[in-house]
Amino acid sequence: MPPIKIRKRTETGGVRSFVIRATAILAALVVTAAFIALLGKNPIDVYASMVTGALGNPHRLRETIIRAVPLVVTSLGIAIAFKMKFWNIGADGQIIMGAFGASYFALNCPNLPQPLLLLVMAAAGMVAGGLWAFIPAFFKARFGTNETLFTLMMNYVAQKWVTYLQYGPWKDPKAIGFPKIPNFVDNAILPKVFGVHIGWIIALILVAVVHVFMKRTKRGYEIAVVGESVDTARYAGMNVRGIILSALFASGALCGLAGMIQASAVSNTLAVDISGGAGYTAIITTWLAQLSAPAIVIVSFLFAVLVQGGSYIQTAFQIPQAAAQILQGMILFFVLGSEFFVNYRVAFGRTVAPSESEVPEEFKVPAAYDEPASPEAVKTTKGGSRG
C-alpha cells in the first residue's frame, strides 16, 4: 500500500478552497439523498420542495428572511471576536442576555413612546450582551483563562437565569400558573417593512458598518494585528488588553442586539429558547464566510433556506423532524471536514507532488496578554537611584 502523507499547505488559493467547500456540500447532498431514498422518498422531489418550501412564495420567503436575520447579526458579532483569534462560542448566551436586557425595559416601561422604548431596548440588549462577552474576555486578558470553555459555560448561566425569571419573579400572573414571561406591549415590538420586521434592514446596515469597521478603521486594524501576533501589537505600542476587551464587548453587543430583535419582533417575549440555536449555527456561518461581512449575508441566508426548507418537508413528506435535521448535520459534517483538505494536502505514494513549505502555527495565541510595565515597576522607577 502506498504510504499516505499529510502536509500543511502554505498557499491556500481562493479558487481551490471554494472548489473544495462546494464539493463538500455536494457530497453532503448526495449522502443525504441516499438516506432519503432509504426512507422511501424521492430525493430529488424532497430537495426541490425544500427550495420551494423556503422560497416558493412571498410568505415562505419572508419566513426564511426572518430566520436569516439573527444569523447575520450574530455572525457579525462572532466575526469580530474570531478575527482576533478569540474563540467566542458564547454567542448563544449573549443573545439570551441581550434579550433579557431588552425585556427588562419592555416589561417595566411599557408606557414609553414606541421609538424611544425600542431604542432603549436595543441599547439595553447591546450592553447586556456586551457585558456577557466582556466577562470571559476580562478573565482571559487578566489571567489567561481559556475563552472557549468560559464562553460556553456562560451560555448555561444565561439559560438558567432566564429559566429562573420565567418560574419566579417574572412569571406572568395572567397565565394561570403556566410558567411564562408576559408578552410585550405593542410599543415594544419592532415595526415591519415589506411584511418582515425591520430587523432585516438593521442587519443589512450592520453588515456595511462591520465591513467598514474591520477594513477601514483603526480599531479594525488593531483587532487584525492582535489576532496575528500579540507581540507585534505590543511592539507597535497597541494597548492589547484594551483592544481585546473592547472588541469582545462589541462582539457581545451585536449578539445581544440579535437577542433584542428576536425578543421584540419574533417571540414578543423573553423565553429560554429565544435564540433558536442561532448562537451556535452562527459560529458555523461565520467560519464558512471566512469572517467576511458580505459573505456572512449569503451564507446565513443559505442556512436559513436549509432550516426553513427542512421544516417544510417535515409536513410535506411526513418526514420526521430528526430526518430533516440530518441534512443540516451532513452539510456541517462535510463542510467542516473539508476544512482539513483546505489546509492540508494528502498525497498517496510518490506520484503526487508534495505541498509547499510549512507555515508558522496559525492559531498560536499566548495565554495571557500581560502588559509590560506593572504598577510596582513604575513606582520603583520613579524613586529609582541614580547610577
Partner 1 sequence: MTSSDVIRFDRISKTFGSVAANRAISLAVKAGEIHALLGENGSGKTTLVNMLSGIYSPDSGDIFVYGKREYFHSPRDAIRLGIGMIHQHFKLVAPMTALENIIIGQNGSLFIGKKGVSVKIRELSARFGLEVDPDKRIDDMSIGEKQTVEILKVLYRGARVLILDEPTAVLTPQEIVRLFSILRRMKDEGCTIILITHKLHEVMDVADRITVLRRGEKIGTLEKTETSIGELTDMMVGRAVSLEIERSDVAERKPIFETRGLSVRGRDSLRAISDLSFTLSSGEILGVAGIAGSGQRELCESIMGLLPIEKGEILFRGENLAGRKTAEIIKRGISMGFVPEDRLGMGLVAKMGMVDNLILKDYRFQPGFFIDRSPARARAKKMIEDLEIQTPGINTPVKQLSGGNIQKVLLGRELGSDPEILITAYPVRGLDINSSYTIFNLLNAQKEKGKAVLFIGEDLDVLLELCDRILVLSGGIAKGILDARTATKEELGLMMLGRTEKEASPIAAH
Residues lying near partner 1 in the complex (CB under 8 A) are found at 5, 7, 10-11, 216-219, 221, 224-225, 228-229, 231-232, 234-239, 347, 350, 353-354, 356-360, 372-374, 377-378, 380-382, 384-387
Question: Residue 45 or residue 356: which is nearer to ligand ATP going by CB?
Answer: 356
Q: How far apart are CA 22 and CA 16, in angstroms?
A: 10
> How many CA atoms within 13 Å lie on the side-chain side of 257?
24
Report if residue 108 touches ligand ATP, rule: CB under 6 A. no
Q: Residue 59 binds which one of ligand ATP, partner 1, none, with CB within 5 to 8 A depending on kind?
A: none
Tracing cell 437565569 back to the chain, one arrives at: 161
Report if residue 357 touches ligand ATP, rule: CB under 6 A. yes
Report if residue 362 touches ligand ATP, rule: CB under 6 A. no
Question: Residue 315 or residue 357: which is nearer to partner 1 going by CB?
Answer: 357
Q: Residue 42 binds which one of partner 1, ligand ATP, none, with CB within 5 to 8 A depending on kind?
A: none
Question: Residue 7 or residue 180: which is nearer to partner 1 going by CB?
Answer: 7
Contact 274, 259 (CB under 8 A): yes
Question: Residue 7 or residue 41: which is nearer to ligand ATP going by CB?
Answer: 7
Q: Residue 373 binds which one of ligand ATP, partner 1, none, with CB within 5 to 8 A depending on kind?
A: partner 1
Structure-derived torsion over alpha carbons of residues 205, 207, 208, 214, reported in degrees to the nearest 10? 140
Q: What interhelical angle do 293-317 and 58-83 show, nearest 10? A: 140
What element of type H or E holds 357? none
Collapse the DSSP code of 168 into the 3-class scheme (helix H, G, I; strand E, B; otherwise coil) and give the result. coil
Shortest spacing between CB 142 and partner 1, in angstroms: 17
Please choose, from the candidates 50, 91, 54, 96, the residue with its C-alpha nearest in 3D space to the C-alpha of residue 74.
91
Question: Residue 357 or residue 385: which is nearer to ligand ATP going by CB?
Answer: 357
Mention every residue, 6+ apart, whose C-beta is less than 8 A from residue 268: 183, 184, 188, 189
Q: Residue 359 binds which one of partner 1, ligand ATP, none, with CB within 5 to 8 A depending on kind?
A: partner 1
Report if residue 12 touches ligand ATP, rule: CB under 6 A. no
Q: Residue 345 binds which one of partner 1, ligand ATP, none, with CB within 5 to 8 A depending on kind?
A: none
Question: Residue 164 or residue 235: which is nearer to partner 1 going by CB?
Answer: 235
Q: Residue 387 binds which one of partner 1, ligand ATP, none, with CB within 5 to 8 A depending on kind?
A: partner 1
Q: How far apart are CA 234 and CA 239, in angstroms?
A: 7
Please choose, from the candidates 212, 221, 351, 342, the residue with its C-alpha nearest in 3D space to the C-alpha of residue 290.
342
Q: How far apart are CA 88 and CA 154, in angstroms?
A: 11
Number of residues that bind ligand ATP (CB under 6 A): 3
Binding positions for ligand ATP, rule: CB under 6 A = 10, 356-357
